[in-house]
Amino acid sequence: MRGTCIMRNKVAWGLTTLLGLASCIALPLLVMKTGGDSRESHSLDAVVRLDPPPVVTPSSQPKQPDIVTYWLNQEKKSEQTGHAETATAYRKRIDAYHAGLPSALPLMSSWPTNQATSTDMELYLRVPTPDQPLKPTESPLTLAKHEPASGVYIGMLGADRRVGYDVTKIEDVYGRKHALYLSYVGWRKVQTDTNTYFPARTAERVKELDGALQIGWEPRFGLDDVQDDEYVRRFAREAKASGIPIFLRYASEMNGAWVPWHGEPQKYIEKFRLIHDIMAEEAPNVAMVWSPNFWPPDTIDSYYPGDAYVDWVGFSLYSTPYSAEKEQLQGTVIDTFAPLYKRYSHKPIMISEGAVAHTYLPTNQAYWSWAESQLGYMYGHLPRLFPQVKAITYFNFSRAQAIRTNGSYVYDIGENPFMDGYYQRLIASDWFLSKVEPGVNPIPYRYTPVLTSSLPTGRQTALVYPKLVNKEGKPPFAIAIYQGDQLLGASYEAPWEIEIGVRPESASAPWYVVAYNDQMEVTAVKSGIGPIARTTAVTP
């Protein structure tokens, strides 16, 4: 049932034990120059005197407010909407920010190694996307149907409390036009208002929005009922007549036993290929999306129809606070998605249906701040770490809809005051595309992991990926990057992108990435010369 009524297993990457450095390595004392003040009031002061940054293409999106201004705005909004606890949480963040990072960070090889760390961090640097000249015998890279060269189409199922399935409201509610709109179509079901099999009325609204339609087409009577007949042919002709880009997610989540088209991989492949061939003949505007659920992963491959029949690979990808009826807050969607990406990244990938659950209905327990951080991984890190992810459609399902369908989770962004503003902040990035435009290429760079002990000189953009290895699933409050005795920069939100600058005289010094909690206590340290344990046990 579209992944909303089954338990999601979340597979957390293994905890990397933090070890002390070898005695032959002298660890420096990292001291930040504060002009006599014991706290650093602005994390970027240390790099303002470096060479000016290179010219960057101006963003097509309005400039987002800095993190403190954003928190202030959210505090005010929370007070106005009666969310007193949320307003208090934002005030605490603002106070912690103004308290500043500690003035010194002692790194000693005598630190104990038996303390649990809050996160295992990876450091990346932004590099230009390489231009690869073609050899005389090579042809240009062929993109799939409707595929952008870079960037991510933003999409949504508008089943939330405020949109109520009226896709024309999404831009006003969420602050940005979306490229994709998700609709489900029952097999052999007549759309009574238009006397069509295809959802023509929804397509008309989407066309007015200059958007595209993702259709979940579900053979509810089983695979034997899927034939080359007038129903399928007419559906295809009506899809073509819509005049908009269509992403046809036919018989999705086939790897899960909760759908009636599960259990016969060879028959599934036969029927998928049949639908592909009919669409290729009747509806050239239709891209075929093969879309398993992320769980269970061991049955996915046997259902793959073959590259010639799949335009896009889609995944249902959810983050929920419970798994197998037990609370499970550790890890993120990236942990479960990474091995799937490795197998299918030769195709453009869409998160055809994904969401973060913020309320568990059986106990009515809210996980608002946890869900906020999980959203940051889905929309902040996922596109940057996995550039073949080129569409994300949020399954925006309200509490009322979840209760009506006997669901366990509430995914509605607007029913979580932390997620509401954060989603709008995340999708404002140039990474996200508001229109389906094949070949568009707004992101001329990629991120590569730093595998050496030093950093290149000059101004550049770094990204820190903090894996959530603590049982509370709590992300860092702040992350700072140091080199030798120099603070290079800090960030207070996912995707933890930090503008840094390395002076030539510091180029040989090792780098350190440090995570802090909201008490500005160190909870994890990652070094270019090896993992480092932390000095005392503090709350993550």
Active site residues: 253, 353
Single out the residue of 337, 354, 340, 339 nearest to residue 391, CA to CA: 354
What's phi and psi for 399, nearest 5 deg?
Answer: -60, -45
Residue 300 pairs in a beta bridge with none
How far is 419 from 413, CA to CA, in rounded Å?
Answer: 6
Which residues, 6+ apart, have CB-to-CB distance to 390 below 8 Å?
A: 147, 148, 150, 151, 152, 153, 312, 348, 349, 350
Using CA atoms of 426, 430, 433, 437 in order, give the dihedral in degrees to the nearest 10: -170
How far is 311 from 314, CA to CA, in rounded Å?
Answer: 10
How far is 515 from 495, CA to CA, in rounded Å?
Answer: 14
Decide: 29 and 107 in contact? Cβ < 8 Å.
Answer: yes
Helix (H, G, I), strand (E, B) or coil at 88: helix
How far from chain centre, in Å, is Cα 525?
24
How far is 531 from 199, CA to CA, in rounded Å?
Answer: 55
Written as six digits, the tokens of 174 are 């969420």
DSSP assignment of 223-279 equals GGG--SSHHHHHHHHHHHHT-S-EEEEET--TTSTTSTT-S-HHHHHHHHHHHHHHH
User: For residue 450, how many other CB atoms are within 10 A of its CB?
Assistant: 18
Going through 47-179 in order, the beta strands assigned E by DSSP cover 101-102, 104-106, 119-128, 152-159
> Strand 432-433 vs strand 409-410: parallel, antiparallel, or unpaired?
unpaired
Asked if the peptide bond before residue 417 counts as cis, ω within 30 degrees of 0, the response is no
Residue 441 pairs in a beta bridge with none
Decide: 419 and 78 in contact? Cβ < 8 Å.
Answer: no
Going through 62-103 in order, the beta strands assigned E by DSSP cover 101-102
Decide: 9 and 326 in contact? Cβ < 8 Å.
Answer: no
Whole-number Cα distances in Å, 181 to 206, 265, 292: 7, 29, 19
Q: Within 13 A of 15's CA, how many CA atoms are on the CB side?
A: 16
Whole-number Cα distances in Å, 116 to 102, 120, 258, 475, 479: 21, 10, 38, 14, 18
Helices 84-99 and 67-80 cross at an angle (nearest 10°) of 160
Rg (CA), the chain: 25
